[in-house]
Amino acid sequence: MEVIISNYPEELTFPEEYVENVKAAAEMVGKLYGVENGEVSVTLTNNEYIHTLNKQYRGIDRPTDVLSFALNESEEPEIDGGMDVNVLGDLIISVERAEEQAADFGHSVRREMAFLTVHGMLHLLGYDHMEDEEREEMEAEQRFVMEKLGISRD
């Protein structure tokens, strides 16, 4: 699994361990769900930028923790360049929101960053939580991946 991580705005700083957590979580999803040849782009950002995106793309006028933009959902034409890379899409994660939620929920930022990555990756793979049945399935998948990562609700 190729995980391309960037930050926006560029001057945004955070501990390197955040990048390592996101990469490990995305790679675990790739391994467990058979998309080892996948590629995901992850942007670590602040509440201001994710708020702008949330309003623009979802019509929700507030910051959120993670946004997923799946490439495989669209009707884009396939490009035949001889590459066997499955470009899954983009994740945008608010580092600020992750830190806030970790404090609110009483667990580590490591756990929150991994959880948001897993949650976003599952969306890229087609999981959703709009209906109760879908939500229960997605929550079970999230627990499964977090267990495989060895990350509990600490």
Statement: residue 129 has pLDDT above 80? yes
Instruction: Report domain extents, the chain.
Output: 2-149
**Which of helix, strand or coil describes residue 138?**
helix
114-130: average pLDDT: 96
Name the percent of the chain lying above pLDDT 70: 90
CA angle at residue 136 from 154 to 109, to 5 degrees? 25
117-144: average pLDDT: 95
Confidence label for 154 from pLDDT (cuts 50, 70 and 90): low
CATH for 2-149 is: 3.40.390.30
The answer to whether the peptide bond before residue 77 is cis (omega within 30 degrees of 0) is: no
54-65: average pLDDT: 97
- Per residue in 3-22, pLDDT (tens digit) is 999 999 999 999 999 999 99
Which residue bears the tokens 């709009």? Answer: 130
Statement: residue 62 has pLDDT above 80? yes
Report if pTM > 0.75: yes
Separation between Cα atoms, residue 77 and residue 63, nearest integer Å: 32
Q: What is the pLDDT of residue 83?
A: 52
Give CA separation, 131 vs 34, 72, 104, 144, in Å. Answer: 25, 21, 26, 20
